[in-house]
Amino acid sequence: MSDQIFLELDRLTRVFAGTAAVRELSIGVAEHEIVTLLGPSGCGKTTTLRMIAGFEHPDSGRVVLESRDITGLAPQKRGFGMVFQHYALFPHLSVGANVAFGLETAGHSKQGIDDRVTRALDLVRLPGIEHRSVGSLSGGQQQRVALARALAPEPRVLLLDEPLSNLDAALREQTRRELRTLVKEIGITTVYVTHDQEEAFDLSDRIAVMRAGQLDQLGPAEELYHRPSTEFVATFLGRAGAVESIVDGKADGEVVRCRIAGDVVWSALAPEVDVGFVSGSKLRLLARPEALTFASTDDDAAVRGTIIDRRFAGSVYVYTVSVEGGKLEVQTDGEAGRPGDAVAIVPRGAPVGIFAFPPPLQMSE
Amino acid sequence: MSTALDRCHKKLTPRARLLVVAVFVALVWAVIYPNLVVLVESVRGDGTITLRHYAEFFQTPSELRALWSSIWISVATVVLSALVGIPLAFLFARYEFPGRRVLGALAAMPVLLPPLVGVIAILFLYGESGIATRSVQTVLGLDAPPWRLQGAGAILAVHAYSMYVYFYLFTLAGLARFDPAVHEAAASLGAGRFRTLTRVTLPLLTPALAGASLLTFMTSMASFSAPYVLGGGFRVMTTQIFNSKLQGEVSMAMVETAMLAAVSLLVLWPLSRWEGSREYVALGKGTRAARMPVKSQWAAIGVPLLACVGVAVLLLPHLTLILVSLVPDGTWTTQTLPPEYSLENYAQLFGEARTLRPILNSLLMTSAATFVSVALAIAVGQLVVRWRVRGRGLLEGMLALPWALPGTVLAIALATTFSVNQPWVGRFVLVGTAWILVMAYTLRVLPLTGRAALAGFRQLDPSLEEAAASLGAGPWRTLRRITIPGLLPAIAAGASLAFVTGLGEFVASIVLYTHRTRPISIEILSQLRDFDLGAAAAYGVLLMVLVAVAFTLGQRWIQGDRGAAV
């Protein structure tokens, strides 16, 4: 993003009982931008969000808002709205009182508070439920009240901690569209935490993929999908088969030639962080199912293998094929064989969706 | 990530630090210090430290007998209470029959009788001139009463009557807590009733049974009313201490107090660690449940009948108390049942300043004690659960300690510590004032409110408080608007228990009261001494009603709040 950084996480580190939950994490969020922290459970994304909110104090590093260091600022003084995973609606207060809570602390007049509560509930499309008790609401309604409560005081930053994880699948999908529309309408800077890749794709301007307390890659969804910088990012966002390969020289630019399954050579995109792929060194080659197709078995550029699984995914089929040195996945429009069939696989064309990464052993420093 | 929250500590503000220091100082001064004074006094010779008094204790047969009596009575009480309470709980938990709910609730009724009131109710019923005793004597045409309600047997009977409730309630709660699916799982794996009981049900109940055993044992060790009223020549430690104090044997009273405290703590420590072990095997309870009727026709008649008869027996003391409270002074002499009834005693109770005084005293002192102990408990909860201050284990320990120490020990410790004026070491003359009773009540109920507040804090989702903070609420506003309302159910439960306990308090009161500050329990005793049985019973009924009201209100508050909760 070219915009100036609005909210900056500067080398944040948080250690729990000797283990770094978050290590040297730096992310810049532009104004009006939605950035998602995406990663498996335990990757430190929630801890990061809580450091932004002020509930967690970093052991080192800074949280900076509009060039002002707010690392030591109490949560209640930050003016950030937060939606909690289990909503944390105050069970003893009515819906209206919940939404009004933040407005009261801000010292609005009674009339001003009522107006804003009404507006906030309208915004989340739950008009006129001020007097209901929060216990009488459905999960989806609770989620929206929690959002209305967070938005009512017009916070400068909105923080969402897996806010959709307690909704059922259909509602989740619908809600995340609405959420994006709403947040974009208001134009509020948002940091969103989830472990769900689809949710991240749907909602975010940019996604920060986290693993073991560190940032693997930060960028728009397309970039992460098409140019993953690590094997983890490649497999966490979308499917990919993987086989062992040996470098067979560098082609132009970011493309590296890889020998797989004995003597077949495919071109693959190497990560931007070029670790100096030397001919003869080992790499892992990952291929997205849609980047590959079946060919006739006498094709020289084809890798030969055996179908071991076939999945029907609605408009397409995805085949898992056992090949020398690994397994590949191939997506086809129609049926192309059954488990046990011998097949040959070739790339569809340019090295799109085929990546080469250093093997895991070398990756762990 | 609540654990993460707990671990991360925002630095405490100066005002918060002040609170931490104040709470520590208050608890150390009120809970620990008086006991240390007792310990020091027990080894004080003429200006030197001496173990002479302890040597004397161990060389006096009557002292050793009292110590041994306290211990065996307590063990026997545990066994007897378990034998009554556990089967009763299984009966109500496992069988559906008409009237089950009502009878099940009535089975917990002894809890409504404060210890002294329970004792006198039983005295009116089974005492030498009690209703049941006279009935049997008349029916069998005997010259003398068929039994005498005195000595160890009488104490045990009263103990079992009032303490089986712990086993009953703990077992019910234990049975309610675990998933009925485990029984189905056991059945699907081919286990019969007996095997399910011994391999599944009882092991799962072990923590509940261990808890009930511990509570019963400690209550029995601390029991004063029953041995005091019914003991006769049979002495246990609590009555022994009281007598030494009365006779002015100060050093011996100190040693006895220290010994009783030591024994209580010695038992508490391993027993509380044992929770979760297979203790139920050693105690050998519950096998009776396996012999419960299995044939449905038999059960259809037998079970409700058994429940009715059992509950009737349990309610007889309450009914007797009510009956005797309606008897005008001096009209009941040798008849089996009192010949005359009126509301005279109640009219007198509320009609005269002299008789109203103890009621007001009890209400005021108990309210004050409840308020202070709730405030302290909330403060400790905040310190221990939220701020996780250093020394939180010590804080929790100090909250619980008055529970482990018998009321007699507490009272003697307070009376000793606060009988001299040495402000520079934190000793003031409180003896003779209402404050020392308020202090004693506060300490006695502190474990109840403390446990409730800690549980409340632990159940309260920390993200509620974070949500408040994220909405701009400062610590004070968060506490007022979110934390305390969230704690209300737990606090209401703790406070109502505390109030009920304080109202009927007798053990510490009898050491600390003066004529001006006498509470209801002391008044009951003195009416009894004057043979004004009707008045004593009327006070007893009043206590019973107050206790019932406090319980119901506490319960309603809890449920009312739950209804609105998510």
pLDDT tens profile A245-301: 888 877 666 788 888 888 888 888 887 545 556 777 888 899 999 999 998 878 878
B123-137 pLDDT tens trace? 899 988 888 888 888
- pLDDT value of position B208: 84
Q: Are residues A50 and A141 in the same domain?
A: yes
Instruction: Tell me how many domains chain B contains.
Output: 2
Nearest to B546 by CA among B554, B534, B558, B536: B554
Asked whether the beta carbons of B533 and B124 are under 8 A apart, the reply is yes
- Chain B residues with beta carbon closer than 8 angstroms to that of A134: 566
CB atoms within 10 A of CB B371: 16
Same domain, A105 and A249: no
Q: Is the pLDDT of residue B180 over 80?
A: no
- Tens of pLDDT, residues B184-214: 556 666 666 777 777 777 877 888 888 888 8
The CATH code of the domain that includes B116 is: 1.10.3720.10
Judgement on whether residues A172 and A30 belong to the same structural domain of the protein: yes
Average pLDDT over residues B454-462: 86
Question: Both A212 and A313 in a single domain?
Answer: no
> B9: which chain A residues are within 8 Å (Cβ-Cβ)?
57
Q: Determine the pLDDT at residue B284.
A: 27
Cβ–Cβ gap A75/B477 under 8 Å: no
pLDDT band at residue B386 under the 50/70/90 scheme? confident
Note the pLDDT of residue B559: 55
Q: Tell whether B29 and B153 lie within a shared domain.
A: no
Q: How many Å from the N-terminal Cα to the C-terminal Cα in chain A?
A: 30
Same domain, A144 and A17: yes
Q: What is the pLDDT of residues B401-422, one digit of tens each?
A: 888 889 999 999 999 999 988 8
From B372, B370, B374, B382, select the one nearest B19 (Cα to Cα): B382
Q: Which pairing describes strands A342-347 and A326-332: parallel, antiparallel, or unpaired?
A: unpaired
CB-nearest to B10 from A57, A82, A92 is A57
The answer as to whether B48 is a domain residue is: no
Q: Which residues of A touch B485 (CB under 8 A)?
A: 90, 92
A330-356 residue pLDDT tens: 999 888 888 999 999 999 887 788 998
A91 CB neighbours in chain B (<8 A) are: 486, 564-566
Q: What per-residue confidence (pLDDT) applies to A274?
A: 57
| Last residue within a domain, chosen from A183, A202, A231 | A231
When mean pLDDT is compared across A294-298, B388-392, B506-510, B559-563, the lowest value belongs to B559-563
A75–B7 C-beta distance less than 8 A: no
Contacts (Cβ under 8 Å, ≥6 apart) of A228: A217, A234, A237, A271, A355
> A216 and A73 in one domain?
yes
Average pLDDT of A185-202? 93
First-to-last CA distance in chain B? 20
What is the per-residue pLDDT for B294? 40
Last residue of a domain, one of B325, B359, B375: B325
Predicted pLDDT of residue B358:
93
Interval B517-534: pLDDT, tens:
999 999 999 998 888 888
Residue of A nearest to B6 (CA): A56
Q: Is the pLDDT of residue B563 over 60?
A: no
Q: Which amino acid is at B185?
A: A
Shared domain for B384 and B491, answered yes or no, is yes
The answer to whether residues B440 and B400 belong to one domain is: yes
DSSP code of B240? H
The neighbour count for residue A128, using CB atoms within 10 Å, is: 11
Please state, for a pLDDT cut of 90, what percent of chain B lies above it: 37
**Closest Cα to residue B225, out of B121, B366, B332?**
B121
Assigned domain for B49 exists = no
Return left, alpha or beta for A40; rule: phi > 0 is left, psi -120 to 50 is alpha, else beta.
beta
Residue type, B297: Q
Asked whether the beta carbons of residue A81 and residue B481 sit closer than 8 angstroms, the reply is no
Q: Is the pLDDT of residue A1 over 60?
A: no
CB-based contact B477 A105, cutoff 8 Å: yes
* Rounded-to-integer distance, Cα A351 and Cα A182, Å: 38
Asked whether the whole model's pTM tops 0.90, one would answer: no
Residues A225 and A250 in one domain: no
Q: Which of A199, A231, A263 is where one domain is finished?
A: A231
Residues across chain B? 566
Which domain, by its residues, includes B104?
60-325
Domains contained in chain A, number: 2
Q: What is the CATH number of the domain that holds A306?
A: 2.40.50.140
Q: What is the mean pLDDT of residues A85-110?
A: 86
**Cα–Cα distance between B520 and B526 in angstroms, integer?**
10
A33 and A128 housed in the same domain: yes
Assess if residue B150 is contained within a domain: yes
Average pLDDT, stretch B6-17?
Answer: 64
* A335: its two tokens: 């049926």
Same domain, B191 and B143: yes
**Which pLDDT score, from 0 to 100, does residue B8 have?**
41
- The residue with greater pLDDT, B499 or B182, is B499
Does residue B31 lie within any of the structural domains?
A: yes
Contacts of A195 in chain B (CB under 8 A): none
Judged by DSSP in three states, A359 sits in: coil
pLDDT over 70 percentage in chain A: 95
Sheet holding A34-38, edge to edge: A80-83, A157-161, A189-194, A34-38, A206-211, A214-219
Report the pLDDT value the prediction gives residue A74, as an integer from 0 to 100.
Answer: 84
pLDDT digits (tens, 9 = 90+) for A158-184: 999 999 888 888 888 888 888 999 999
Domain-ending residue, one of A231, A265, A297: A231
The answer, yes or no, to whether residue B273 has pLDDT greater than 80, is no
Q: pLDDT higher for A94 or A363?
A: A94
Is A141 in the same domain as A27?
yes
For residues B56 and B35, give the distance between their C-alpha atoms in angstroms, rounded to a whole number: 21
Q: Are residues A266 and A161 in the same domain?
A: no
- Residue B342 pLDDT > 70, yes or no? yes
A259 and A279 fall within a common domain: yes
Residues B36 and B102 in one domain: no
If asked whether residues B309 and B393 sit together in one domain, one would say no
Do A72 and A11 fall within a single domain? yes
Structural tokens at position A79: 């003016």
CA atoms of B183 and B309, how far apart (whole Å)? 29
Look at residue A124 and tell me whether its pLDDT is greater than 80.
Answer: yes
Per-residue pLDDT band for B290 (boundaries 50, 70, 90) equals very low
List, for residues A293-323, the tens digit of each pLDDT value.
Answer: 998 878 878 899 999 999 988 889 999 999 9
Domain limits for position A334:
239-363
Candidate from B137-151, B225-239, B505-519 with smallest mean pLDDT: B137-151
Q: β-strand A326-332 against A317-323: which pairing, if any?
A: antiparallel
With contacts defined as CB-CB under 8 Å, which chain A residues touch B10?
57, 74
What pLDDT sits at residue B285? 27
| B31 and B73 part of one domain | no
Tokens of A286: 């990952």
Q: How far is A364 from chain B (nearest CA, A)?
A: 27
Is A94 in contact with A133 (CB distance < 8 Å)?
yes
Are B107 and B135 part of one and the same domain? yes
Q: Say whether both B217 and B89 belong to one domain.
A: yes
- pLDDT of B231 > 60? The answer is yes
Chain A residue set in contact with B, beta carbons under 8 Å:
16-17, 21, 46-47, 50, 53-57, 74-82, 84-86, 88-92, 101-102, 105-106, 133-135, 142, 149-150, 153, 159
Tell me the pLDDT band of B282, cut-offs 50, 70 and 90. very low
> B171: helix, coil or strand?
helix
Q: Which of B507, B255, B519 is nearest to B362 (CA)?
A: B519
Would you state the pLDDT for residue A60? 94
Distance CA B565, CA B563 (A): 6
CB A353 within 8 A of CB A228: no
Between A74 and B273, where is the model more confident? A74
Does B479 share its domain with B530?
A: yes
| Residue A99: closest C-alpha in chain B | B471
The pLDDT score that the predictor gives to residue B277 is 45
